[in-house]
Structure 1
Amino acid sequence: MIRKAKEHEYDRMVSLWLVASIKAHDGVEPGFWRSQQQAMRQKYVPSAENWVYVRNDTILGFCSLQQNVVAALFVDPAYQHQGIGSLLLEYVKSIDAQLELSVYSMNAQAVAFYEQHGFRTMDERFDDMTGQWEKVMRLGEPVYR
C-alpha cells in the first residue's frame, strides 16, 4: 500500500535512505552518507511531500517530492527488484506529469530504471559534495546534450 508518510516514520525513512545510499553509491565514501543523516531527518524529509510503500506495517520504500522534483526514491535493499520502486514512481507520476530528478551517473542501474519509466537526460552536472557527476532527467522530454 502507498500512503502519505507520517512524521513519526521519518527515522525509518532516513535509516532506509542511508542503507540504500551506501549500497547504490560505492563511489562515495559511506561516511559522507552518515554525515548527512541529521540534515535528511531535520531538513530534507520534512520539507518534502513523502509517500511510503508499506507492507505488513513495515515501510519498505519511500518517495519524496519537492514541488515537481523527485528528491528521493529509495527501497530497502532486501526488497529491491520486486516492483516497489516502480509502484512509488508511477504513483508520483500520477500526481505530477512534469517530474524532474537527479541521479548519479555512476549508478547505471538507477539511470536505466528512470529511463524505463520515461525519464530522459537533459543535462549533467558535477556534485561538489560527493565529487560525482549526476544526470538531470525530466519525464518524457527528448534528450539534449
Structure 2
Amino acid sequence: MNYTIDRVSNTEYHQIIDVWERSVRATHHFLTEDDIAHYKPLILHTYLDAVELRCVRNAEGNIIGFLGVAADNVEMLFIDPAYSRQGIGRQLLLYAIQQLKVTKVDVNEQNEQAAGFYRHCGFEVIGRSALDPSGKPYPILHLQLAMAK
C-alpha cells in the first residue's frame, strides 16, 4: 500500500509519543519499564524538536508511523504495531533516503528485527558502540547505506 508522507506539527507530539511507546513495547523487549519511563520524556521534550519529522497517517488522519532525521542520519523510525508489515517503514525509509538524503542509521543491536530491516534495505554495519547515547548498556550498531560509501 502507498501512503502519503506528511509533516508533523509540535501539536501532534502526543500522537508521536503514543506510537513510539506502542512500537517500543512491541519490539524492544530488552527495555525495562524504568528504561521506557527514562526515554519517554527525553523523546517528547528534547529529541522530537531536534529532528525533522515526517509521518504516515491512517484514513482517520491519525499518525501510524513516523521518522525523525537529523543531518544524514535516521534518528528514529517507529511504526504502530497495529500497522506493521504493511510497508510503512520501508516507504518512510525510502523517502528519507531519496528526499532527505539519509545515508546512516543507528539501531539497537538487540532489536534484531530493525537491524535486519535496515540490512535488507541496503545498509551495512560500519561500527558498534557498547552503550547507547544515554550511557545505558544497550549496544548500538552504526549502519551506512552501502551505495553511500
| Fold equivalence (TM over 0.5) | yes
Aligned to 2:10: 7
**Cα distance, 1:51 vs structure 2:** 0.1
Quick check: which one's strand share is greater? 1
Aligned to 1:39: 42
Cα–Cα, structure 1 residues 22 and 31, in superposed 2: closer, same or farther, change >3 Å?
A: farther
The unaligned stretches of length 5 or more in structure 2 are none
The separation in 1 between residues aligned to 2:93 and 2:102, in whole angstroms, is: 13
The separation in 1 between residues aligned to 2:17 and 2:140, in whole angstroms, is: 21
Aligned to 1:99: 103
**Cα distance, 1:35 vs structure 2:** 2.1
Give deviations 1:49-100, integer Å, cap 9, x for gaps.
0000012111100000011110000000111011010111011111244521
**Conserved? CA contact 1:98–1:138, under 8 Å:** no
The alignment status of 1:137 with 2:140, answered yes or no, reads no
User: What is the RMSD computed on CA atoms of the aligned residues?
Assistant: 1.7
Tell me which of 61, 64, 67 is aligned to 1:60.
64
The separation in 1 between residues aligned to 2:26 and 2:33, in whole angstroms, is: 9
SS at match of 1:130: coil
**Conserved? CA contact 2:74–2:102, under 8 Å:** no
**Conserved? CA contact 1:22–1:30, under 8 Å:** no
SS at match of 1:127: coil
Deviates more, 1:128-137 or 1:116-125: 128-137
Query: What is the total number of aligned residue pairs between the two structures?
Result: 143
Deviates more, 1:91-100 or 1:81-90: 91-100
The separation in 2 between residues aligned to 1:81 and 1:23, in whole angstroms, is: 13
The separation in 2 between residues aligned to 1:106 and 1:133, in whole angstroms, is: 7
The alignment's TM-score, normalised by the length of structure 1, stands at 0.91
